Every structure is written in structure tokens, then in C-alpha cells.
Amino acid sequence: MTNVLIVGGAGYVGGFLTDLTVESGHEVRVFDKLLYEDAYLKEVDFRFGDILDRAALKPHLDWADTVVWLAAVVGDPACALNPELTINTNVNSLKNLVADYSGRIIFLSTCSIYGAQSGLLTEESPFDPLSLYAESKIAAEKVLLAAPNETLIFRLGTLFGLSDTYSRIRVDLVLNVLTIRAVQEGHMSVFGGQQYRPLLHVRDVATAVVPQIDSKATGVYNLHAENMTIIQLAERIKKLVPTSTIEITESSFQDARNYMVSSEKAASELGFQPKWTVEDGIAEIRDTISAKRIPKVNIPRFSNVAALQSQFDN
């Protein structure tokens, strides 16, 4: 049995990942400051704390055989709100981690570091960061790869879908928000639409991570299920929400990211095979919203940038 500390484990990615880690027979502890949640109700050993408080985190690092590091300010708009907080959270906390902990680390990075590039991008492709978020993740990777720890890094594609029973939905992710609009408004506005995204179900992060908790695998791996353009995604949604319409418009602001990735390395070396499809994600969001299980999808905590902004405002 391995002692697994999941740092930031109360969030969107951490919900199902924690469940699968427990089901796999590991001893699990979650360390989180509940940035987006009012309570932690999962029957898992939970410790409230801030990753920037080294003294608070250190006893749990001493306990852990493997640290799964999920904690971060995530997304371009959220990171831009407070650059100092972003660097402290996304980079300096990792400097503290490798100074205070010598064991195995599994870290979640992002494919956003590739920016806007043509072709199928591999782990060896150059970086093209278009945001502070991407820059901070590149810096974090460099910190970890320079340290002597046994470190495994996953660069995640654009997430979608529902995590576990307790975790919040995220309405700032393209598949989720377009599906919600298709159901609630019967209409999807797509800005441009030719930008590619490498999509990945949030539960497939756990599919990749949990089998590697006890492995010796190190290095960097891309993770995605399917590359597609935003307009192709909207067309998939329309097939499952046939009453909806699509409008392609031009906007003064468009997300400049545009890239396709290869996850062949993760498939061949780690045996990664995504279990959930784009259609699975669309259907579960559609059914959840149609059943009015989340009657107020526009509250701040369902969006990273809105949640942070509301805390700064208070």
C-alpha cells in the first residue's frame, strides 16, 4: 500500500482521481484550501491548508510515498487576474516542494504550452506560450525536471465532462459551456471556430495518473483523446442536442491557441487509452442540465476566473 498525497485534490480533476486512487488500494490523503468549495464531504483523509504555507504542508509530504500535485491557478483569464499569485502558486510552490520532499512526484501540466502551431505536436515540440498560465507551467516543469526527484509530468489537453459526485462542474471549458448553451438557449455562438483543441475527459486524467502511482515511469507525456476544431465540436453537440443551432461569428477577441497533439508516447510507453469519448461528455452534460440538477450554472464557483475575481472583490 502506497501513501498518496493528492495536493489540490478537492477540485475538478481531483474528485474522480481521488476515488480511483482509493479504489486502487492506496492510502490517500487530500491537502486543499477549498478555493472553489464550501466543504469537503468525501470519506477520505482530508487536511485543510494552503500550498504556500510550507510548514503546514511539510508533515504531509513527510508521510507521502507519492505526491500527486494538482494545485494551481488554472486557465489564461484566471492567471491574468493576479500575476504574483499565479507565479507563487504555479511555480514557487514547486520550488518549495522539491526542496522539502525527495519522493515520487506526479505533476499535471498543460498542452497550452504549445500555443499556436501547425502539425501534430509531440513532447519534443517547441513551446509557444501565449499566456501567463502557459509560461507558469513551463517554468514549473523546468523546476521539477531539474530536481533529483522521480518525476512524471502529464501535459493535459482541454478537459471536459463531469468528475465525481461532489466536484463542481466547470462552465469555463469549451465543450461544457457550448453544451450548456445548446441545452438552455438552443443556440451556440462559435467565434471563428477553426482553432484546434486536443480534448480529454476529466476522468481520463485519473485513468492515466493512478496506474503510475507505483510505477517507475518518469518524463513528460501528452494526454488527449481527440483533436478537433471548435466548429467540429459544435457540430458534434448539435447531433446530440438536435434542437440547437450554430452561429459562426467573428469577435474582436479570439483565443489564439490552435494546436493538435499526439499522445502516442503515453499510449505506447504507459498503456494509456482514454475511456470516455467527446460524445460521452456531451451526453452527460446535456442530461445533467436538462434534468435541472444544476439549476444555477452561472454562479462564480463554476468558473475559475469568476471564482477568483469574487474572492478578490471580497
The domains of the chain, with CATH numbers, are 3-160+200-223 (3.40.50.720), 174-198+227-258+276-313 (3.90.25.10)
Q: Is the pLDDT of residue 256 over 80?
A: no
At 18-46, the pLDDT tens digits run 999 999 999 999 999 998 888 999 999 99
At 188-242, the pLDDT tens digits run 999 888 999 999 999 999 999 999 999 999 999 999 999 999 999 999 999 999 9
The DSSP secondary structure of the chain, one letter per residue, reads --EEEEETTTSTTHHHHHHHHHHTT-EEEEEE--SS-S---SSSEEEE--TT-HHHHHHHHHH-SEEEE-----SHHHHHH-HHHHHIIIIIHHHHHHHH--SEEEEEEEGGGG-EEEEEE-TTSPP---SHHHHHHHHHHHHHHHSSS-EEEEEE-EEES---SSSPP-SSSHHHHHHHHHHHTSEEEEES---EEEEEEHHHHHHHHGGGSSS---EEEEE-SEEEEHHHHHHHHHHHSTT-EEEEE--S-----EEEE--HHHHHHH-------HHHHHHHHHHHHHTTSSS-TTSGGGSHHHHHHHHHH-
Q: Is the pLDDT of residue 252 over 70?
A: no
Task: Taking residues 295-306, report their average pLDDT.
Answer: 86
At 259-289, the pLDDT tens digits run 999 999 999 999 999 999 999 999 999 999 9
Average pLDDT, the chain: 95
Given pLDDT bands bounded at 50, 70 and 90, which one contains residue 249?
Answer: confident
pLDDT at 254: 57
Q: Is the pLDDT of residue 253 over 60?
A: no
At 62-91, the pLDDT tens digits run 999 999 999 999 999 999 999 999 999 999
Q: Is the pLDDT of residue 298 over 90?
A: no
pTM as predicted:
0.96
